Amino acid sequence: MNNRLGILGAPLTVAQPNEGVDFGPGSIRYAGLFDRLNDLGLAYKDYGDVPVINKRTNGVDPKTNLRNLDHVASANEMIADYVYDLKKQGDVPLILGGDHSIAIGTLAGLSQFYSNLGVIWFDAHADLNRGETSPSGNIHGMSLGVSLGMGHERLTSIHGQEAKIKPEHTIIIGARSVDEGERQVIREQGIRVYTMHDIETHGITWVMNDALEYLNGKVDGVHLSLDVDGIDPNHTPGTGTPVVGGPSYREAHLAMSMLYNAGVLTSAEVVEVNPLLDEGNRTAEVAVDMIASLYGEKHV
Ligand SMILES: NC(=[NH2+])NCCC[C@H](N)C(=O)O
Ligand SMILES: [Mn+2]
Ligand SMILES: [Mn+2]
């Protein structure tokens, strides 16, 4: 294992209805990602994009309440293979989405390397739906659940039948739009959730320290899944399912630098950047700021 970052784009868009999130990886690269990594003196290799096929069928299948299941499943099989290969090279994976369903592939690809991978899911949403509970049929709202082993077999069986992560190693930060079926999963499985209310009450510093302490000693790696809609849409307007009332740019930035300082992160992904919904390329620029902070950029 070296410290080289292995960067991989996963331009999947059909697990949600908006076109454009397939331009996420390019927009993040264009927002100055490589200059910032160069300034940090970080070694990296850009593996390019996974050649996913963004075919849409007609809407949601009434039998399963899943949208574009076949395409989402085959794309994520491919993503899992690519992430597996990248990790096998010894690189530190940094995956650029794509809609948040790509976490199904990322976590499946990573799962062979860990028996107790911790996951920090920074998101306005919980992404714990299944066909039976989803209000939309959009699989990007199901990826955390799938990785925990819940949901359609086509998705949960990618790279093996077993669950890819465990509920007691799963943390959601920034939640403020959680569906009823998801609340039940959180309660039943004992998933640790820091809502916006917790961030307001205790502050982001306390939340991050508490989250890190919760994982400490229990996990053999930590993956960050950063959904840009986790951040307040004042800063990240270019995303398909924005939710008002999120953490500020500064709070998110501090959360990232605390992850860097803790030195525990073994992989990360940044998802849901949609330049077609953006003002200029602002959202990708914020994503790059977050990535730079995550890998050690300091003000002085
Ligand atoms: N990754 C995301 N942006 N997910 C949004 C999910 C929204 C809603 N909970 C749903 O399941 O449809
Ligand atoms: Mn979200
Ligand atoms: Mn999400």
Summarised one tens digit per residue, pLDDT across range 156-200 is 999 999 999 999 999 999 999 999 999 999 999 999 999 999 999
Contacts of 163 (CB under 8 A, 6+ apart): 147, 148, 149, 156
Summarised one tens digit per residue, pLDDT across range 221-268 is 999 999 999 999 999 999 999 999 999 999 999 999 999 999 999 999
User: Ligand 1 within 6 A of 97 CB?
Assistant: no
pLDDT of residue 57: 82
Q: Which candidate, 278, 215, 271, 226, places its Cα nearest to that of 253? A: 226
The type of residue at 105 is: G
- Cα first-last separation, the chain: 29
**Encoded tokens for 188:** 């039943």
Ion ligand 2: residues, CB < 5 A: 123-125, 227, 229
Residue 109 has pLDDT above 90, yes or no: yes
In this structure, the strands spanning 66-67 and 60-61 are antiparallel
Active site residue 229: yes
Longest dimension (CA), the chain: 56
The secondary structure element, H or E, covering residue 74 is helix 69-88
Which residue is closest in CA terms to ligand 1's atom 10? 141
Active site residue 169: no
CATH homologous superfamily of 5-294: Ureohydrolase domain (3.40.800.10)
pLDDT of residue 71: 96
Q: Tokens 């982001």 appear where?
A: 204
User: Ligand 1 within 6 A of 100 CB?
Assistant: yes
User: Ligand 1 within 6 A of 129 CB?
Assistant: yes
Triad 171, 175, 176: Cα angle to 5° = 165
Q: Which candidate, 98, 200, 79, 202, places its Cα nearest to that of 147? A: 79
Active site residue 213: no
